[in-house]
Amino acid sequence: MNSMYFFPIEAKASTIEGKGVFALLKIPKGQIVWKFVEGHDKTLSINEFNALDEHVKKELLRVAYLSATTNRYVYPPENDPANFTNHSKAFNLSAVTDPTISEEPFFIANRDIEVGEELTNNYSEFDETIKTDRPEWI
């Protein structure tokens, strides 16, 4: 699988939901773990997203986020394990915004992450749709 993760990972069954993304090496606190890469990751304008069929929008919202920095929906391609990065209130990846590194938020380890540990983030840190329409599971 092709991915924009900076550390070896694998997607497998998760205790959180469906599949998750798991570290194959120890990841030190402060390291960039994932970032958006133009040409690999996909984006849609709000108008393009709104023009989609309702079923397609619902499916896309499982993996896409609305970016505060570009006002575009951002999502990984179909074969990217990033599609399986789960939300957790005890997340170990924090969203960081720094336009000198990426136009989109990127994710750093907010603590040491052990081999075999699931990589999780807090969707409300970077998804504008969750900030305005907060689901109960957040």
Query: What's the full length of the chain, in residues?
Result: 138
For the chain, domain boundaries: 9-132
For residues 120 and 130, what is the distance between their CA atoms, to the nearest angstrom? 16
9-132 is classed in which CATH architecture?
Beta Complex (2.170)
Chain segment 105-122, per-residue pLDDT in tens: 999 999 999 999 999 999
Q: Which residues of the chain have pLDDT under 50?
A: 1, 138
pLDDT of residue 131: 67
Residue 33, helix vs strand vs coil: strand
pLDDT of residue 1: 44
Q: Which residue spans within the chain are E strands per DSSP?
A: 9-13, 19-23, 32-34, 42-45, 65-66, 72-75, 86-87, 93-96, 106-109, 118-121
Give the tokens for residue 98. 């720094």
pLDDT of residue 138: 45
